[in-house]
Chain A
Amino acid sequence: MPPDFIPSIFYSSSVEETLAIASKIVKSIAARGIISLEGPLGAGKTHFVKGVARALEIDEEVTSPTFTLLQIYGSENNRLYHFDFYRFHEECEAADLGLEDYFAKNLTIIEWGDKFPSLLPPETIRVIITPLENGVRTITLTSEKKIYAPSCS
């Protein structure tokens, strides 16, 4: 991602639109990289990852990694690593996953990545889903760490 990267904002009013925006975003960035996926419970984070998987032509069903902590999709040269920090209370718990082993390869998406920003490398792309009224959401794409995003206390 270039240093003069300008944040982009997308509007979604349905699951289908969220899937399409996710596909568009993942196609516009390199297929390797780290995305921190942020937003409150029920914002549509897992659906966003479904859109990413569709763009990568992965036909496995993407499901929530909240309890399993990590889901791995795709094949050897087209892997999608899908983490979730939701259940972690302490940074050291998340650090124990050995994240750096995954960062070098393919695409890694971390739901609730903003809980432990110091674990994320500087090149991390942040995708922030913010529910508005009437089921509309904004999906903000940024590389800046300072943008406010609600966190799961």
Chain B
Amino acid sequence: MNFYRPILAIESSCDETAIAIIRPPFELLVNLVASQSQVHACFGGVVPEVASRNHLLVIDPLFHRALAEAKLRPSDLGAVVATAGPGLAPALLVGASYAKGIALGLGIPYLAVNHLEGHLLSPFFLKKEIPKHLSLLVSGGHTQLTKVNKAGSYYLLSRTHDDAAGEAFDKVAKLLGLPYPGGVEIDRLAQSGNPKRYSFPRALMEKGNLNFSFSGLKTSVRYFLEQREMLPDSSELADLAASFQQAIVEVLVEKTRRAAQIEGLSCVGVSGGVAANSALRNSLIALCRECQWEIHFPQPELIGDNAAMIAYAGMHRLIAGEQSSVTSEIVPQWQIHSHC
């Protein structure tokens, strides 16, 4: 392939349908995520939130809008990449099949991309180099520490035994009766709360343990609420949010510190939805300042699920000479250590 022709990327591994186009090596032409309001506007009526059918409804109009916004014709594209896993099979199938169709129709390369690899590289989006670093990926579905040697070379150090950090935020917000999206609401409330008022458990903190467990924390918040006669008032609610958030943040920061020290890494990349949490960001920035490490976060529009990160991860692999067959299958359980 011609490395300077635009790469189109499709992401449909879970809730979001997203299409992005980048012009290698350093230019983002368009980055679209179909939100539910757009789905409503296009098709009217009530469209279920998490339905795989939604991907099918929006993917074609989204593709044409992406080309129009990038001022490209289909024949200008040099390659098509798509998320092939991990994710929900019916959802993955829509994006990967659509991408293969374009590749076949235009006679250009197709490449299957790992969704987690997209997140891992997102803090370094379109930067000249991806340094050797420690990656902390924290989202609703994933919480893991990975050693990144370079693009395409990963070693999984640890992951959660049960709930992901973003899931814990979401479920505790629900227990506290907070509106959706719960993680954002906890972050907001916690800013006026006292993080030391209540003590919630920090799991797996014994020496050398890099893994995570957040289900006990969620359960302890539930017990706490059940033991009270009354619902918390607004100042207690802020203190509860702050104390809970502090428990998660402390664990994430401490495990990041340990992993970086054990692996001798002096650069940290943070990705996934929880990378937007202000307390986590501040604590990680403080850690890295103290240890004199570099720290990188994704741009705000690359924090949630998006296709730009898939385009970027795909670009590195295409440049390395990789390509997938259009008969290749989706891989719903594709883990990042498959790349080791």
Contact = CB atoms under 8 A, between A and B. Distances in A.
A96 B52 contact: yes
Contacts of A119: none
Contacts of A46: 162-163, 215
A42 B52 CA distance: 28
A76 interface: no
Nearest to B143: A63
Contact of A64 (B14, B162, B175, B332): B162
Interface stretch (B43-51, B128-136, B187-195): B43-51
Interface stretch (A4-12, A85-93, A120-128): A85-93
B160 A72 contact: no
A80 B62 CA distance: 35
Interface string A68-92: 1111100000000000000111101
Interface in A119-153: 131, 135
A52 to B, nearest CB: 14
Contacts of A97: 52, 88, 90
Interface stretch (B166-174, B259-267, B284-292, B295-303): B166-174
B49 A93 contact: yes
B323 interface: no
A68 B141 contact: yes
Contact of B161 (A63, A66, A88): A63
B222 A40 contact: yes
Contacts, number: 86
Given A87-B50, A88-B50, A89-B49, A63 B90 contact: no
B51 A92 contact: yes
A61 interface: yes
B166 to A, nearest CB: 7
Contact of A93 (B50, B87, B164): B50
B218 interface: yes
Chain B, interface residues (CB within 8 Å), range: 35 or more
Contacts of A90: 46, 48
B123 interface: no
B140 interface: yes
Contacts of B89: 70
B109 interface: no
Contact of A68 (B14, B218, B221): B14
B222 A67 contact: no
B53 interface: yes
B219 interface: yes
A104 interface: no
B257 interface: no
A68 B86 contact: yes
A30 interface: no
Contact of B215 (A47, A69, A70): A47
Contacts of B219: 41-42, 44
A65 B162 CA distance: 9
Contacts of A3: none
Contacts of A87: 49-50
B119 interface: no
Interface string B77-96: 00000000011111000000
A96 B87 contact: no
B23 interface: no
Nearest to B54: A96
Contact of B333 (A42, A69, A72, A93): A72
Contacts of B163: 46, 63-64, 66
A28 to B, nearest CB: 25
Query: Which 7 A/B pairs are nearest by Cβ-Cβ distance?
Result: A42-B219, A67-B141, A67-B140, A93-B48, A42-B222, A96-B51, A64-B163
Interface of B: 14, 46, 48-53, 86-90, 139-141, 159-164, 166-167, 170-171, 174-175, 215, 218-219, 221-223, 332-333
Given A61-B161, A87-B49, A98-B90, 17 more contacts: A41-B171, A41-B218, A41-B219, A46-B162, A63-B164, A64-B167, A66-B141, A67-B139, A69-B14, A70-B89, A87-B50, A88-B49, A90-B48, A92-B48, A92-B51, A93-B50, A96-B53
